[in-house]
Structure 1
Amino acid sequence: MDVRSASFHPIEPVLACALFSGGILLFKSSWKHPTSLSTWKLQCQFRSEYSALSLNFNKSGTKLAGGCPDGTLIVWCSRTGQKRVLPVSRRLDFPLTVWNPFDLNVLASYNNAMEGKLVVIFNAAIGHFYFLQSKENVWCVDWISRNRLACSYDDGTVEIHEIELGFISTSNLVKKLVVSTHFTSDTQVFPYPKNRGMKSNVWSIAWNEQLQLLATSSHDGWVKLWSMDSQDPVHMRHFSSFCCHLVWSPMELPSSNKDPLEGEREPYLASGMEDGSISIWAPLGKKLRPFLLLDGHTEQLHQVSFSPNGRYLASTDYDRKLVIWSTKTWDIIYTLPPSGCRFPYTISWDATSSKLCITEKTGLKRFLTIEYVAAENQCAKCKKTSQNVKRCSRCRSIFYCSKECQFSHWSNHKTVCQKN
């Protein structure tokens, strides 16, 4: 299939694929439980003269956004195929989109693959938009409320903008955080002299609504947590390598002697580092210190992404190597070897956490899916086929013919068993 980018629906068993020739294909499963992607059927096709380099559903899956190589932004209604097109002539290359989880019709679009000082705010329901122009290059954006957007820059700062979209759209700078005042070289750390143009990029930011904290990572090796009530970080941790991508977990820190589904849910941070390691840090935990996952990558990390149920962590690096980790034991359960091409993959989980699609943003026709689906009517242990097999009551995605088979297979199945 001639796929340029792809994204799974956040709720339903639907996969959207953008074609090189233009347009979108939507594939859907007729079953609610996880089934092999080979059984999914083409549901509909959205025609378009544009080829989307990136695809992204909003939180409810009602709208699908695509960023095109010439800067054009397209938003489709996922049920009707109706679209709004917003040409943006002042940017090229690879526009990214970040949907607002507090207002499902609004998104922010930016480009960090080249020098870009423009963030586009777009309301796909009414067509209103706003061009947020900055003096510095934008590295990352994230929504922290219905009308507030956090933007990180390559001068070591993060700005919080309050944006109102209408016939006359406006923005107001409500807060500016000085994240980094130092520039890190290979041999020393020295103060950041702005007038000399030396910069310590704020590589990644991630908002946690439960904790009301904004996590930032900068090129000087610091990961900091900020409350919107203060100008100073409330928590901070220094690492020997800088963090390229931050992501919050959907549940508390798992351990080998505690079921992560039990007890109080405490979010934690996974940080993909420049040296290929991954830091796992529960900043509000009293007993757990950050620890590093060292065995997966040797190249700079590009993306880390938790599965929706929090039981897996996928990581990709700039050598196009993919690793999937079990967050129960932090063991590696899947590895896609590197291809030797210095361009990273973009990954998307499906709603059941049983599938992962991989696309590659340089335009090469590289599209893969990784899935864990049990064969229908077949015992996972003895492989016998029977009409009397029963599903695992916990994850509903694997079958057993007897309690004995289920018990003997548990040591293998517990790593990937998920509770839907």
Structure 2
Amino acid sequence: MSVEFVISPKSLDDSALLVSNCAFHPHEPVLACAVQGGPVRLYQQPDAVGSIVPLSKWKETVFNPVSTQYPVSDASCLQWDSALVWDADKKPSPLVQRFTDADRIDDVFWISATRLAFYSRDQTDGIIRICQIGRENPIMALVHGNSINSVRWNGQVNLLASVSSFVTKGMGHVMLQIWSPDQNDPIKTLIQKQSEVRCIDWLTRENGADQPLLVVGGCADGSTIVWNLNDKGNSHKRLDDGHYAAITDLCFSPNRRWLASIDRDGQLIVRLAEDWRKVYETKTVASNCQRALSWSGSSDKLAIVNARYQVFLVEIIHRSTLDPKQSST
């Protein structure tokens, strides 16, 4: 069985849409796109066995998640879960909850069916706020200590990771902290001399008790750093092959097989998480989005948002070794 990576020849840009963020549903072949001006568009893949359907041909549903009482110009992040803050079935406005004690939100994560965590990169003290559906104000605050570059939630071990960069005596440093959402203090803190880390993600393999718990970060110098949280010391490794510009986003596929990363110049790289070997590489349009990448729940589709507010789709095709038309990467 060989694997082929195919990038969709068409994108939602064909409809002159300006997409600021996108997120695949964790289980269904549905892509949510936040469009400038407030609306959210849902795209559902039609049934098509053995063929690729361009994203522009997916079934579209449009709804306005925020009423005119709360006008917005853009949505900085989208996340799916079984409990939604925006409920598309509610009329006339699907807005379920609006948190009043919040600055600009750069990213949000569901940490349970009724709780979510969010943060703002504009805060110099780096506060992660925990909110409860049904309560207007945050119920808990985790103080990172520096302006946060990235936060990611690991639902398998119920932990948050946050990372920041700072300069001491002319040297760049990175601070990675691991949090339990039920404790005010971090359960682990790692500080090291390192180029700025702008994005992180978790890797938890099957039989997690027997496998290392990893956090991977994308750096401003184009390298990728891998922390092993099981080690008592500051164990890490660097991957220097691939990017030549600052990595703006990276994420693992839900099946934990692939690691996708994209840099400021639009270079997209997909690696095998097993040994970090590159298996696919292509050049897209420059990307400055903090959350530019989103994997489908089936781990065979990767959505990309670039600096021109376009959405592209990379699909992974599995071909039999007996298929004469196969082309592996």
* One-letter identity of the residue aligned with 2:322: C
Q: Deviations over 1:338-386 (max 9, x none)?
A: 64x46458233233323323332533xx44333332457x615xx3x8x
The separation in 1 between residues aligned to 2:72 and 2:195, in whole angstroms, is 31
- Residue in 1 that maps onto 2:227: 281
Q: Distance in 2 between matches of 1:262 and 1:209?
A: 12
Aligned ranges 1:261-410 → 2 under 5 Å: 264-285=210-231, 289-337=235-283, 339=285, 341=286, 343-344=288-289, 346-363=292-309, 366-375=310-319, 379=322, 383=324
Distance 1:326 1:266 in 2: 16
Contiguous gaps of at least 5 residues in structure 2: 1-9, 167-173
Matched, 1:158 2:127: yes
Q: Does 2:73 align with 1:92?
A: yes
After superposition, give the CA deviation of every residue in 1:165-208 in whole Å (9 maximum; x if it has no partner): 3xxxx33443322212xxxxxxxxxxxxxxxxxxx411222222
Q: 2:141 aligns with which of 157, 172, 176?
A: 176
2:9 matches 1:28: no
1:334 Cα deviation after fit: 1.2
Displacement of 1:209 in angstroms is: 3.0
CA deviation vs aligned residue, 1:220-258 (integer Å, no higher than 9, x gap):
320101224543322121241232222222426xxxxxx
Distance in 2, matches of 1:243 and 1:372, equals 28
The 3-state SS of whatever aligns with 2:113 is coil
Cα drift, residue 311 of structure 1: 0.9
Q: Please give the alpha-carbon distance, in whole angstroms, between the structure 1 residues aligned to 2:239 and 2:69.
A: 40
Instruction: Give the TM-score normalised by the residue count of structure 2.
Output: 0.73
Deviation at 1:263, TM superposition (A): 7.6
SS in 2 for 1:232: coil
Tell me the secondary structure at the aligned position of residue 132 of structure 1.
Answer: coil
Describe the shift of the 1:128–1:232 C-alpha distance in structure 2 as closer, same or farther (beyond 3 A).
same
| 1:59 alignment partner in structure 2 | none
Select which of 198, 202, 216 maps to 1:248.
Answer: 202
Q: Distance in 2 between matches of 1:287 and 1:294?
A: 22
1:24/1:338 Cα in 2 relative to 1: closer, same or farther (>3 Å)? closer
Q: Contact 2:101 / 2:136 at 8 angstroms: preserved in 1?
A: no
d(CA) in 1 for partners of 2:68, 2:224: 38
After superposition, the C-alpha distances for 1:54-93 in whole angstroms (9 at most, x for unaligned) are: xxxxxxxxxxxx7xxxxxx43xxxxxxxxxx534645423
Q: Could you say which residue in structure 1 is the equivalent of 2:112?
A: 145
Does structure 2 retain, via aligned residues, the 8 Å contact 1:306–1:314? yes
Separation in structure 1 between the aligned mates of residue 308 and residue 233 of structure 2, nearest angstrom: 43
The answer to whether 1:133 aligns with 2:86 is no
Write the deviation string for residues 303-328 of structure 1: whole angstroms up to 9, x where unpaired.
11111211110001121111111111
Whole-angstrom CA distance in 2 between matches of 1:297 and 1:349: 20
- Matching of residues 42-57 of structure 1 within 5 Å: 44-46=59-61, 48=62
CA-CA distance at 1:281 after TM superposition: 1.8
Which residue pairs with 1:238 in the alignment?
191
What's the % identity of the aligned pairs?
24
Higher relative CO (Cα under 8 Å, sequence separation at least 6) belongs to 2
CA contact (8 A) 2:115 2:133 kept: no
Q: Which runs of 5+ in 1 are unaligned?
A: 49-65, 67-72, 75-84, 108-121, 181-199, 253-260, 386-397, 399-411
CA distance in 2, matches of 1:314, 1:146: 27
* 1:173–1:372 distance in 2 versus 1, CA, 3 Å: closer
What is the TM-score when the length of structure 1 is the normalising length? 0.59
Q: Is the 8 A contact 1:16 1:27 kept in 2?
A: no
CA contact (8 A) 1:14 1:29 kept: no
